[in-house]
Each structure stands twice: as C-alpha cells, then as structure tokens.
Structure 1
Amino acid sequence: MRSTDHTGRRVRREDLPVSELLYVLWGRRGLVTCAVGLLVLAVLFFSLVRGPDYAAEAVVGITPQQPSVESAEQEVFAEEVFGAVASRGLLEEAARRAGWGSRTEEFRERLDPEPSVAQDGRAVLRVTFRGDDPRQAAAGANAYARLFVERVNRLGQERLAGGSLAAGAELVGAASPREAYLSYHPLLYLLLAVALGVVLGGAAALLLDSRGHRWRDARDAEMTLRAPVLGVIPEYSALEREE
C-alpha cells in the first residue's frame, strides 16, 4: 500500500511507534494469548512434576595454621583448601551419611558448596543443599559440612597443597530445618512465563504482519502520522507487473 503526504511525496512506514506496536499486538491478540497460555501451562506442569524445593545452608569456618595468610587472601585460601579436600570419595561418603545411599549423582546435583569470606574476614565454606522437605535439606548440608571438617582436620596434621599450606576447620553454623527456605518460587516463574509469552507472541505477530513496513489502511496512517488522512491511493504497480 502507498500513501502520500501533503506535498505529494510517497511515504513509507520506517519506524514502529508504541501506538502502532499495540495496534499490531491487539490485531494478533489471539496469537499472543496462545503463546502466554502455552508457557504458563509448561510452568504449571514443571511445578507439578518437580514439587516443593527447600534449601538449607551449613557454614564451615576454615582457619590457616600459618600466619602468612592475609585477610585479602582468605577467599583464595578457602578455595585452595576446598580443592585439596573435595573428592569423589568425600561426596559418596556424605551422600551415604545423609541417607542417599548410592544415589551420589542426585546428591551432587542438589549440593552447592561455595568457598567465600564471612563478614568478619574469615575464610568459610558455605554448603547449600536442596531437598524435598526442610529436614532432608538440612541433613544433606550438615552431612557434607561435618565430613568436610573431618577431612580438613585430618589433612591439617600434614601439609596441604604439596606442603605449602595447612588448615583447620570447624562447623560454625549447622543447617536447621526451621531455617530452610523455598528455593523454587512458582509465582516468580509464572510471571516470567507471562512476560516471555508476550515477547515471543509479539515477535511472532510482527513477523506474520508482513505488511509491517508499509501502512495497511487509513487508520494505520493516522496512527503513524498522528494526523487525519484525507485520502488513500492504492498502488497498482504490483498488479501491473503481474499482468
């Protein structure tokens, strides 16, 4: 479609203002609604299959046995100790103590040990574990944290990392079922599904609107120019070429 302005020049729609975008989305509202509905159903199904997901955290304090570790190097020190102690055997034993038996891989997927520095500048290992209920989450975090303390203290009598580092550890914060929290928020994921559905549905609507680079009718021209349209001249060049 071709339109002319007051000077007689042919004008094409090059930009997409908000009013026109809303106009296109409203014209394709069925498509947008279907996209939102499909994503919301997917989130609801995922929530039903997954069920509740609780997380609990245990904190292990790591103390260097040498005064050479400065406060600015505490996080690096914690990472070195964690790398020297963490092993497949540690994971398997922690899973067994927490009641997971031979399901080591599932236990590992729910486990998140993170070396960091506490507010007082001390090197710590934060052990977060996700469980189906608060008691299971706390048991998993405490089992790994306590076994980690045992391994660090055992190796602390020797020299870790090739004889250049020694450390001691203690459980400074055990995980409690009463402090476990929901790590999966269905409402948040539903809101994200709605937003993503609007974006994907809107993109599909603009893609299907193949005439989006030209004015479709007088109303479209009025919305773009924000001025009344006195007349519209159809473009016959395409028809003439076909003939």
Structure 2
Amino acid sequence: MPDSVRSEPTCILVVEDDDDIRALILRYLTRSGYVVVGVADGSGLDREMARQPFDLILLDVMLPAETGFELCRRIHTISQARIIMVTALAEVTDRVAGLELGADDYVGKPFELVELGARIKAVLRRGVPRELTPQANAAAAGLHFAGWRFEPERRVLYTSGDVRMTLTGAETDLMLVFYHHPGRVLSREELIALTRGASFIVEERTIDLLISRLRRKLAHGGRQLELIRTIRGDGYVFDPTFGGTEKLVP
C-alpha cells in the first residue's frame, strides 16, 4: 500500500517480457495507487533506473538476454529498491536462488493479482527509503552488539575494525528480528512470521539459508563468538553475550 505519510508516491518498476502479463500487472498496480513503469528486459530496466529511483522492482526470472537472477545481482550494486522475483520455476532450489542474491520475496506463476498486491504491500512495509532523510541518517548511527555496528536503514554491518559488510534486504530483516529478540529461541515458523508475515508461505529451508549467509558475514568480525546458535529441534537463538560479556547497546 502506498504510504500515506510520504510526500512522494510509491514507484514500482515491472520487468516482464510477456506483453499481456505486463499490461495486466500495470493496470492492477495503477488502480491500486502506485506509480508504475513497465519494461520488457534488462536494457529497459537500465534505461528507467537511470531516469528515476524506484521503491520496488517486480522482476521476472525468465527474461531474454539477462535473466532475472543476473539483473537482481546487478540492481543491488546501484539501488536500494526492494525486489520481488516472479518465477514459474517449480524447484525450491531455483526459488531460493533469488533470495540468495538479495531478493526480498518471490511470487510463483501463475499468481492471483490479489496475492501479488499483498506481497508488494508486505515488502514495502519494511520501509527502505529511496533517499535517506536527515532523520533517517541520524537513526542510521547504528545499533551495537558484540563489537558490531548495525545500520538497518543502509543494510550494512560494520566490524569493530570498521570493515563494512553489505546485507541483502532479507538478511537485514532477519538481523533486525534477532537484534530485538536477544536470548529468545525462535522457531523457523516464528522467524518467517516476524520477517515476512504470518500469512505467507515460505520454505523453512529459506530461513536456514539466510541464517547461514548471515553467520558467514558475522564470522568476519574476528571475535570468535557464535552469535546465532542452532537449538536442535527448536530453532535459533541470537545471543550477543555468548562467549563474552558484550551487551546490546541501543
């Protein structure tokens, strides 16, 4: 849903090579109150992103020339826009590939427009701004734990040595959930509900994959702390004091 407190409308870029499907999505999202632009391929995406910033990109996987996976990787080097992958691929490994590359969600083809609209609203509620305001810059001073500085607005972690670790949108959401629930064992179902919404169906393997990626990045801190621990049969726990005396600092 477009944010009623924003001074600018929410802008969405639809990348879909099927003319009929693209036109259908554009009509639906326009009626829903978004500013929407549609393109058929990666060259169109580059052209439109050079013209204006977008809040969210709806990205088909099976595209001519460059695939959606390739475009997803490239988008993250130039934009903070949220990304929803649209895929007809049935294999779980194919679907999570987009999440590995930094996509925030995926929608399987064929899909209902109502479901697409709900997923767009959920992703936009995570609130990544096109440009950080002075207030957001102040908030981005960081959340601190175990020698790390976490700046969710910028999707980054900094080690005690000020080495920057870039996070995907999904990794940022997961890190925020862990930060705000220290010491609490969270099941995969709870992690899915807290990051995606209780009504969304997400494979538990996706959470395991995201946690594995987040652990690898946290391992660069050099503190030898197991910050995210697996509790066999129950889920995961974020413990910034494990193996040391570090505390959360608001």
TM-score over 0.5 for the alignment?
no
**Shorter-chain-normalised TM-score: which range?**
under 0.3
Bigger relative contact order (CA 8 A; separation at least 6): 1
Which structure has more helix as a fraction of its residues?
1
State the structure with more CA Rg: 1
TM-score of the aligned structures, taking structure 2 as reference length: 0.21
